[in-house]
């Protein structure tokens, strides 16, 4: 059985009127070009999984920085416990990721950055420093509802 479908089934069995899982992972690359050379390259990764249950007129949230099926399963269980559901459910222990893997490569056109630097310097003899910051990023999101919908 597909693990995403199993998470939807866990949400259905949570005894809540509605539930959803939101998992997101993003990666941002930043390159700083200063005074005709690359001065900094930085990679920032963020991610996490959140669960929302609507139960007996209350909205219960749980969040974890992980984006594995197991993380979402643990969040569902945390929400159930806080909603006052007493029966313990068997959770999922899969190490499968809910979002796509980080497979992006930063491509920087160094000649383009040098050209921008050169043109800015040619415009005025008063220019002593040129700093160019280039950022790009990608985000992967998966949403699962207790109604069985899965969106990636």
DSSP 91-130: ------BSS----------HHHHHHHHHHHHHH-TT----
Residue with tokens 């509605």: 18
pLDDT at 106: 63
Counting every residue, how long is the chain? 152
What pLDDT is stored for residue 132 in this prediction? 86
Can you give the pLDDT at residue 145?
Answer: 84
Q: Tell me the C-alpha distance between 148 and 69, whole Å.
A: 16
**Nearest residue to 98 via CA among 124, 70, 78, 121:** 70
Instruction: Note the helical H segments in the chain.
Output: 3-12, 69-83, 110-123
pLDDT along the chain (152 residues), means of 10: 73 83 87 84 88 87 86 85 68 70 66 87 87 82 80 76
Q: Identify the pLDDT of residue 1.
A: 42
């Amino acid at each position: 059985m597909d693990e995403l479908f199993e998470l939807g089934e866990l949400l259905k069995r949570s005894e809540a009127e509605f539930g959803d899982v939101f998992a997101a992972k993003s990666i941002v690359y930043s390159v700083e070009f200063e005074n005709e050379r690359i001065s900094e390259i930085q990679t920032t990764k963020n991610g996490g999984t959140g669960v929302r249950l609507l139960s007996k007129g209350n909205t219960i949230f749980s969040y974890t920085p992980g984006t594995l099926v197991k993380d979402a399963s643990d969040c569902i269980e945390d929400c159930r416990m806080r909603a006052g559901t007493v029966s313990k459910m068997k959770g999922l222990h899969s190490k499968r990721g809910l979002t796509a893997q980080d497979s992006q490569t930063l491509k920087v056109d160094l000649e383009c950055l040098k050209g921008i630097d050169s043109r800015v310097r040619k415009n005025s003899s008063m220019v002593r420093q040129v700093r160019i910051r280039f950022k790009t990023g990608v985000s992967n999101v998966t949403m699962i509802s207790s109604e069985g919908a899965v969106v990636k």
